[in-house]
């Protein structure tokens, strides 16, 4: 009862699922994994600045189920289903199982009650990593030449499905009967499928401790297992016209075979799940056809140069328009001060290089892995398409492609500049490379990503959004006439989507602050440690577990602000305020950044305000990132940071952190005197209005150099 109350689930669902677990065939290896990986948990991790905790309850539903062997078996079943199908589809399958096994239907929980239970278990069950086994078997089956050519035509994506709910119910029922305690007449189980073959093999191994014997449709043995009485026929049409079929047949010692299920369409859903960056990259390379040979070698050679070009020549900024959340990119000239001091969302080139190396090295075919994991500069006058291995592969694709665009182009170099309207082998390769680069760039935002879990089968997730993001990167790959509308929201939204947090609208509207999904909580690192730096303002922190605040669980925290009268400005700490700006100083050293949390219906609102300011006005913290995206940060200069100006320009006057652009309304320019306080700088950035950008933030530079940069980038706001 305590566990049900803690998770807000029905006790009937807990009791019924535990009772059903006693009948499930679940091998000891899987049960041990549940007991050693899923059930134990580290102490909750505090997000101290917000008084949040991330982790797992000591007495939640998983712990309750883990107290009995029957409950552990059920957790094993739930882990395989929930982590690849999600709570909704899993509840459909488990509800069928509970209903068919129940002697008294009045004691069967509703589908919704089962779904609620599975939803609270999901965060723990993801740690079982059942999906890794599915990925391994997917890779194995994709390489089998004995599978019919017709079936192999779309084998990577066609092998990425799960059976329908009825099929899973029959599969579990067959395993229960095969391993029933006492007498059993079942001698063998035969499964006919094609599109869900990797999942079925992994599920069989998960439940029974060994994979089934695997045969092609013509009888060719792919893998034989003498110690397990389960056969899987891959690529089976089994009497259907199109081969989209799933069936489970039980063979008895005496009598005719019994067909438990025969479903004409086994394309009910694609499996999904959370796995490591390396495993997900391996999946993407395989399904895209870039996992080996010339395509992989070209990709391996081009990505370090492509990433360097992206980071070197682009600065990201918002448009100060009616849509303040729209981002555009601006290409700066080499040596321009704006290019030198423009803020970057990325921590370092090396961090991006390490992600690319991990994604490529995961495939095991890296021929010349660089030990230092560095990005590379192109020589002057060369493009990525001039690199030897890239050139060789593109020439080969160009020569073989039959599309109209390739037929009309005189060379592969001319073809790269064109955007075809029909299917083209060259275009597919270039766009896949751009998509791969986009994922690597977005993943580099995460701190300590070695243990980060990302969506395994994300190749078709948010297809339209990912396509637009990839198209915006095409200029890096030689498409000189491509739009360079590269928005920072693409980078952040892609990063969140890769970990299963679909917050495109919230990021676009600048309302995202924190989210929890798939057992991971993600938020901007700068919220926790608001230290303004030129690079890395979009770094993301993450923790495993569920988000708790005052005993309740939440999945989303939005950035919010409260409004008061404009004349309620923060008063300076010092009584005597200098009349002119002559050197860096802090007039608000008594103020402290504080966070205001407002509880709503299943959503928390987060705002930042200044303690000691005499005003209750709070601001949306995400807006600070918005402003930084198109601002400059000068961290130091060669002069004494405290040196006074030789000549004071009266157009520059002091403004408060509350209203950084107030002087602009009077025809002046603003200096926000918060020298030495990262917290006040952060708050000041969050209070900048969209039409007052760009901003210059000075950390340890003298005032003269800071004002010089303001003049060059046409900034009217300097935050000290």
Do both 193 and 230 map to the same domain?
yes
pLDDT tens per residue, range 93-118: 999 999 988 777 767 899 999 999 99
The answer to whether the beta carbons of residues 123 and 46 sit under 8 Å apart is no
Strand pairing category for 696-700 and 632-636: parallel
Do both 144 and 25 map to the same domain?
no
Predicted local distance difference test score (pLDDT) of residue 445: 96
Query: In whole angstroms, what is the distance from residue 451 CA to residue 276 CA?
Result: 7
pLDDT tens per residue, range 162-219: 888 888 999 999 998 888 755 667 788 999 987 888 999 999 999 999 999 999 888 8
How would residue 77 be classed by pLDDT, with cut points 50, 70 and 90?
Answer: very high
* Residue at which a domain ends, from 105, 128, 151: 128
Domain extent at residue 637: 549-719
Predicted local distance difference test score (pLDDT) of residue 314: 62
Do both 31 and 161 map to the same domain?
no
- Domain membership of residue 92 (yes or no) is yes
Q: How far is CA 585 from the centre of its chain?
A: 41
Do both 297 and 248 map to the same domain?
no
- Domain membership of residue 530 (yes or no) is no
- Domain membership of residue 59 (yes or no) is yes
CA angle, residues 364, 368, 374, in degrees to nearest 5: 105
Q: Domain count of the chain?
A: 4
Q: What is the largest distance, in Å, between two alpha-carbon atoms of the chain? A: 103
Do both 176 and 319 map to the same domain?
no
Q: Please compute the mean of the pLDDT values over residues 348-364 and round it to a whole number.
A: 85
Residue of 631 and 322 predicted with greater confidence: 631
Q: How far is CA 400 from the centre of its chain?
A: 36
pLDDT tens per residue, range 63-74: 889 999 999 999
DSSP H or E run through 32: helix 28-33
* Residue at which a domain ends, from 487, 508, 535: 487
Do both 322 and 220 map to the same domain?
no
Residue tagged 């009772």 (tokens): 19
Residue closest to 694 by CA, chosen among 231, 320, 311: 320
Q: How far is CA 204 from the centre of its chain?
A: 29
**pLDDT at 514 > cutoff 50:** yes
Q: H helices within 126-215, ranges in order?
A: 130-142, 149-152, 155-158, 165-178, 197-208
pLDDT tens per residue, range 276-313: 999 988 888 887 778 888 999 999 999 999 998 888 76
Q: Tokens in use for 662?
A: 């107030």
* Residue at which a domain ends, from 203, 238, 272: 272
Do both 575 and 680 map to the same domain?
yes
Predicted local distance difference test score (pLDDT) of residue 157: 54
């Amino acid at each position: 009862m305590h566990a049900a109350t803690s998770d807000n689930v029905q006790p009937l669902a807990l009791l019924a699922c535990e009772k059903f677990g006693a009948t499930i065939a679940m091998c000891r290896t899987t049960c041990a994994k549940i007991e050693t990986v899923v059930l134990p948990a580290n102490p909750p991790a505090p997000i101290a600045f917000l008084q949040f905790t991330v982790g797992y309850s000591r007495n939640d539903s998983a712990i309750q189920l883990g107290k009995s062997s029957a409950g552990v078996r059920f957790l094993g079943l739930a882990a395989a289903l929930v982590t690849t199908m999600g709570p909704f589809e899993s509840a459909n399958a488990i509800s069928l199982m509970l209903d068919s096994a129940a002697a008294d239907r009045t004691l069967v929980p509703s589908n919704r009650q089962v779904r609620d239970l599975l939803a609270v278990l999901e965060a723990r069950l993801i740690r079982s990593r059942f999906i890794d086994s599915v990925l391994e078997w997917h890779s194995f089956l994709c390489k089998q030449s004995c599978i019919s050519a017709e079936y192999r035509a779309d084998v990577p994506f066609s092998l990425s499905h799960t059976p329908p709910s009825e099929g899973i119910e029959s599969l579990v029922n067959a395993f229960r009967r095969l391993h029933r305690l006492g007498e059993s007449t079942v001698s063998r189980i035969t499964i006919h499928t094609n599109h869900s073959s990797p999942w079925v093999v992994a599920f069989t191994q998960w439940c029974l401790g060994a994979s089934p014997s695997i045969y092609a449709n013509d009888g060719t043995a792919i893998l034989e297992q003498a110690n397990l009485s389960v056969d899987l026929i891959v690529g089976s049409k089994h009497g259907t016209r199109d081969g989209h079929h799933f069936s489970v047949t039980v063979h008895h010692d005496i009598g005719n075979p019994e067909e438990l299920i025969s479903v004409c369409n086994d394309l009910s859903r694609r499996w999904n799940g959370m796995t490591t960056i390396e495993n997900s990259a391996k999946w993407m390379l395989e399904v895209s056809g870039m996992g080996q040979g010339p395509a992989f070698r070209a990709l391996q050679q081009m990505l370090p140069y492509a990433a360097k070009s992206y980071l070197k020549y682009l600065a990201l900024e918002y448009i100060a328009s009616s849509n303040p959340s729209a981002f555009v990119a601006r290409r700066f000239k080499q040596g321009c001060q704006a290019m030198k001091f423009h803020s970057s969302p990325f921590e370092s080139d090396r961090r991006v290089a390490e992600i690319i190396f991990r994604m490529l090295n995961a495939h095991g075919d890296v021929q010349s892995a660089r030990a230092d994991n560095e990005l590379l500069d192109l020589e002057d006058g060369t493009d990525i398409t001039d690199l030897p291995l890239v050139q060789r592969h593109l020439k080969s694709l160009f020569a073989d492609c039959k599309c109209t665009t390739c037929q009309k182009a005189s060379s592969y170099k001319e073809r790269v500049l064109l955007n075809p309207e029909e299917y083209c082998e060259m275009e597919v390769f270039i766009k896949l490379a751009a998509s791969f680069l986009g994922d690597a760039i977005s993943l580099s935002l995460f701190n300590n990503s070695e243990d980060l879990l990302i969506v395994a089968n994300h190749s078709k997730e948010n297809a339209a959004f990912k396509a637009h993001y990839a198209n915006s990167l095409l200029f890096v790959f030689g498409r000189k006439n491509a739009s360079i509308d590269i928005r920072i929201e693409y980078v952040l939204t892609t990063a969140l989507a890769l970990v299963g947090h679909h917050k495109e609208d919230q990021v676009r509207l600048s309302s995202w602050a924190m989210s929890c999904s798939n057992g991971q909580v993600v938020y901007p690192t700068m919220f926790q440690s608001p230290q303004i730096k030129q690079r890395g303002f979009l770094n993301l922190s993450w923790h495993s577990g569920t988000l708790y605040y005052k005993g309740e669980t939440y999945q989303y925290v939005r950035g919010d602000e409260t409004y008061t009268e404009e004349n309620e400005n923060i008063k300076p700490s010092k009584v005597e305020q200098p009349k002119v700006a002559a050197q860096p100083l802090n007039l608000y050293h008594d103020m402290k950044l504080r966070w205001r949390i407002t509880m709503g219906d299943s959503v928390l609102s987060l705002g930042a305000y200044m303690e000691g300011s005499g005003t209750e006005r709070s601001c949306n913290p995400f807006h600070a990132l918005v402003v930084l995206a198109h601002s400059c940060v000068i961290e130091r200069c060669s002069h004494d940071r405290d040196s006074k100006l030789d000549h004071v320009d009266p157009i520059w006057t002091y403004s408060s952190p509350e209203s950084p652009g107030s002087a602009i309304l009077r025809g002046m320019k603003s200096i926000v005197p918060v020298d030495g306080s990262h917290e006040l700088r952060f708050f000041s950035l969050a209070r900048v209005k969209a039409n007052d950008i760009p901003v210059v933030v000075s950390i340890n530079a003298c005032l003269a150099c800071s004002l010089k940069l303001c003049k060059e980038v046409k900034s009217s706001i300097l935050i000290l």
